[in-house]
Structure 1
Amino acid sequence: MGNLTQIYHLQTISYTILSVNMQSYSHTYFSLFILISGNGTLKTNHETIHLMKEKCVIIPPNSHVEIHTADEPLCLYQLTFNTIYLSESHAPTSLFTSVRELRLLPFSQCNKLLEAIYRCRQAKDEHTIFEQHVRFQELMLFIFEQNQPKPILQNDRQSVEQSIQYLHKYFGRDWTVEQLAELAEVPRWSYSRIFKDITGQIPLHYLNSIRIEKAKQLLMTTNDRVFEISQSIGFNNEYYFNRRFKEHVGISPGQYRRSQSNNVRVFAPFLEDFFVALGITPIAQFSHSKWGKQDYLGLQDVPDIDVQFGEVDRLFHYKPTLIMLDAGIERWETCLHLNKLAPICHLNHPGEDWQSTLFKIADLTGKTSMMQDIIMEYEDKVQKARRILGKSVYGQSVAFLRISSIGITLYAGPECGYTGPILYRDLGLTPHPLVWKIPLNQRKAHLTSDQLLQLDADHLFITFDKQHSIYEHEERTILKSSMWKNLRAVKSSCVYEVDFLTWMNYGILSHSKKIDDVLNVLG
């Protein structure tokens, strides 16, 4: 640990209004002039500094300056201080060797420190004197941090990156884009463009994201009140903080804190896979009269709620503390009034990006420490399966079909849908040419009779959707047709039926089970 060579000791602070046209100034101590309002100039033998609101000027001891006011008086804080050297080898900081301007951004932060120092100016008790000393040291640190010399040949992008690091450190201060651009010494229009290029967000949205992440940490690790947390991270208004927090996280700060407890009672229809992967057993699971339950999750002892026939009122008896829904829930009208039972978190579930969804749920439930192991285990499984399949079915084509009483649906390639990213991207299987004909932004396509005849894939994975069946097994009538029986995969007995809800799911456990199913028949 390094040793301090000097400290700065405050001598006086005053709030001064200068109204005379010209005033000479010299002092035996260092002086700081910090302008609150007004306009004028400060002249030395060598230069002239224009004085205006939010300007700061350092004046070394025994320097002679002239202060000229303009049309209105200059209102300023005047601080004098001296340096106390703590070692024999010392030299004054280069920042204070000449009369010069100093940068103070954001100025609101500087103003708060000045007001705190000024309030203590007549203190007699030791506690208040010490508080003034601490606040003055904070002000000096603030000045030093803002006025470090810019590295030689630093380009605009490096300057913006440096300001982003500064933002992470001082997110609690009141920032504007103009202040950040000035801090980086980059034009505002260019600053915002470079900032978004680096972070993907505009500056103030990024700042709010930093603050919300800090708030989440404080909600999990302290018993501080929400109001105290909002103040400490830079939100002066608790209502505004609550609104921003809910926009980012999906639930209120209080609900987030409760969700971090080990006894969270959650109902998350169609999202159970993610909770089970994180070691959380939901208090109830969704079911569907035609589709059944997600048996692969092993939730046999967890009661099920039929979302199709409006059994959600039964949830009242299970006393959920959190209900999590994704956008797909809108198709089930019975789930649209669950807010009467418990706080609802509306999750933006991007489907194919299951890692993002898993992280959001882990974050909400305090399980982020498990993420790395879960993902590494899955990726290890993928690599092992890929090596096996690369030898056993190299060059053989594969397709996935969802079959119902109203038709046959072919699922898309490696970028879209429940199955393509696993079969073709993760496992490296070869899609049938018909799969490539599905538009890139489409997850599936209905097959006409002519298209089905063209489906000469070497291997077919199929699942049956009973939703539209009027009588039992109606969805299977296609299997009796000559058109079906003449398919290459059917003739060679390379058709593999898989569980509907296991394969029609984006969860990591679902994907892991798909890999098992593929290996069982192709490995």
Structure 2
Amino acid sequence: MKKNLFIIGWVMLLCLVVSACGSATQSSDNGDKEEAGEEATRTYKSTRGDVEIPANPKRIVTDFYAGELFSVGANVVGSGSWSFTNPFLKDKLKDVTDLGDPINVEKVMKLKPDLIVVMKDDNYDKLSKIAPTVVVPYNTAKNIQETVKMFGDIAGAKEEADQFLADFEEKSKAAQKKITKVVDKNATFGIYENTDKGKLWVFNDNGGRGGQAVYNALGLKAPEKIEKDIIETGEMKEISLEVLPEYTADYMFVTDYNPNGDSKTLDKLKESSIWKNLDAVKNNRVFINDFNTFYPYDPISVSKQVDLITEMLVKRAEENK
């Protein structure tokens, strides 16, 4: 009996040793995989089909979406040139490589990204050989909420996305309260652009130029003509100077697109009798805005534009007293 118990004890001890060795081997294998750079992946459904991407990408390259990725705390190591014209991203882009426009494939390769996110798919085949590549076509997301959630998903940063949206909602509500004190509740707002070629455009709520800030974050109203012809259709529209009065608003935000700095088209517009007779002009409620400041529509830029527009409206109300 004692002999049997002795044997059983040794067998149990041997099992424990074998089990421990197995665990140690498994732990060692996992460590080896981590050292080899193998990371967990997941399937992302993109316009190019299902793409196997890192669950938590560490080095992201993009052509247009630096601001969107920064908003969810992602690590962007390379971006297209246009991002570097955005005044709201300068600090975040200090250590980011300018990849040109279109982005240079050789430069992308040198950065060794583990994820590439692009708006344009011109070089998709080449880029996808470097790292998993997700294509997000222009205007895929219709507002800041959709944008942040989508890029939070791509970057594996849901908590960061939720936090950004919570902060953005709080900021928007505070700004709305400030504006209600200085702007009539029935006032209308329009967003326009004058180009260096002398063309006039009217913009919707999702074409940059501050549209997300004005119409979505601040909840300001567009004139009925702009609402029906432009916002509801989802398209910005080129108009002639002659029909501008039909699209005018109580408050007008005009972006001046003048990349070379030598255009006189804005001066010519201001000198026209049509412009001078607009109610917004007569009441000093026109704001001429810098293109680089108001063109961007990434979440970080829109958040800053909310501050700028609120400050402009409060300051102008004081001036017009």
Same fold judged by TM-score > 0.5? yes
CA distance in 2, matches of 1:270, 1:388: 33
Residue 77 of structure 2 contacts residue 111 of structure 2 at CA under 8 Å; is this kept in 1? Answer: yes
CA distance in 2, matches of 1:490, 1:269: 39
Relative distance call for 1:336 and 1:515 in structure 2 (3 A) is: farther
Relative distance call for 1:391 and 1:444 in structure 2 (3 A) is: same
Name the counterpart of 1:480: 268
Q: How many residues align?
A: 266
Amino acid at match of 1:305: L
Q: CA deviation at 1:362?
A: 2.0
CA distance in 1, matches of 2:134, 2:44: 9
Name the counterpart of 2:27: none
Name the counterpart of 2:68: 274
CA distance in 1, matches of 2:105, 2:286: 38
Indicate the SS of the match to 1:324: strand
Name the counterpart of 2:115: 322
With normalisation by structure 1, the TM-score equals: 0.45
Residue among 353, 357, 363 paired with 2:153 = 363
Name the counterpart of 2:133: 344
Indicate the SS of the match to 1:284: strand
Q: Which has the larger radius of gyration?
A: 1
Indicate the SS of the match to 1:358: helix
Amino acid at match of 2:252: L
- Is 1:452 the counterpart of 2:244? The answer is yes
CA distance in 2, matches of 1:248, 1:285: 20
CA distance in 1, matches of 2:61, 2:290: 23
- Is 1:299 the counterpart of 2:92? The answer is yes
Residue among 302, 307, 310 paired with 1:519 = 310
Query: Which structure has the higher relative contact order (CA within 8 Å, separation 6+)?
Result: 2
Q: CA deviation at 1:520?
A: 1.3
Relative distance call for 1:299 and 1:498 in structure 2 (3 A) is: farther
CA distance in 2, matches of 1:498, 1:338: 37
Relative distance call for 1:321 and 1:459 in structure 2 (3 A) is: same
Name the counterpart of 1:402: 193
Indicate the SS of the match to 2:193: strand
Q: CA deviation at 1:382?
A: 0.9
Indicate the SS of the match to 1:283: strand
Q: CA deviation at 1:512?
A: 0.7
CA distance in 1, matches of 2:154, 2:245: 48
Residue 401 of structure 1 contacts residue 461 of structure 1 at CA under 8 Å; is this kept in 2? Answer: yes
After superposition, give the CA deviation of every residue in 1:246-265 in whole Å (9 maximum; x if it has no partner): 53796644x324xx15xx11
With normalisation by structure 2, the TM-score equals: 0.70
CA RMSD in angstroms, aligned pairs only? 3.3
Q: CA deviation at 1:356?
A: 3.0
Name the counterpart of 2:10: none
CA distance in 2, matches of 1:358, 1:461: 25
After superposition, give the CA deviation of every residue in 1:105-144 in whole Å (9 maximum; x if it has no partner): xxxxxxxxxxxxxxxxxxxxxxxxxxxxxxxxxxxxxxxx
Name the counterpart of 1:163: none
Residue among 283, 303, 312 paired with 2:77 = 283
Residue 60 of structure 2 contacts residue 115 of structure 2 at CA under 8 Å; is this kept in 1? Answer: yes
Q: CA deviation at 1:429?
A: 1.8
Residue 324 of structure 1 contacts residue 347 of structure 1 at CA under 8 Å; is this kept in 2? Answer: yes
Relative distance call for 1:248 and 1:276 in structure 2 (3 A) is: closer
Residue 189 of structure 2 contacts residue 252 of structure 2 at CA under 8 Å; is this kept in 1? Answer: yes
Q: CA deviation at 1:403?
A: 2.1
Indicate the SS of the match to 1:381: helix
After superposition, give the CA deviation of every residue in 1:256-294 in whole Å (9 maximum; x if it has no partner): 24xx15xx1111222111211122241122224xx9622
- Is 1:247 the counterpart of 2:45? The answer is yes
Residue 194 of structure 2 contacts residue 254 of structure 2 at CA under 8 Å; is this kept in 1? Answer: yes
CA distance in 2, matches of 1:311, 1:359: 28
Residue 307 of structure 1 contacts residue 334 of structure 1 at CA under 8 Å; is this kept in 2? Answer: no
Relative distance call for 1:351 and 1:518 in structure 2 (3 A) is: same
Relative distance call for 1:479 and 1:305 in structure 2 (3 A) is: farther
CA distance in 1, matches of 2:125, 2:285: 43
CA distance in 2, matches of 1:337, 1:449: 45
Name the counterpart of 1:443: 235
After superposition, give the CA deviation of every residue in 1:416-463 in whole Å (9 maximum; x if it has no partner): 543444312431323234312415223211111211244543322122
Name the counterpart of 1:389: 179
Indicate the SS of the match to 2:234: coil
Residue 64 of structure 2 contacts residue 80 of structure 2 at CA under 8 Å; is this kept in 1? Answer: yes
Q: CA deviation at 1:486?
A: 4.4
Residue 147 of structure 2 contacts residue 299 of structure 2 at CA under 8 Å; is this kept in 1? Answer: no
Residue 84 of structure 2 contacts residue 93 of structure 2 at CA under 8 Å; is this kept in 1? Answer: no
- Is 1:374 the counterpart of 2:173? The answer is no
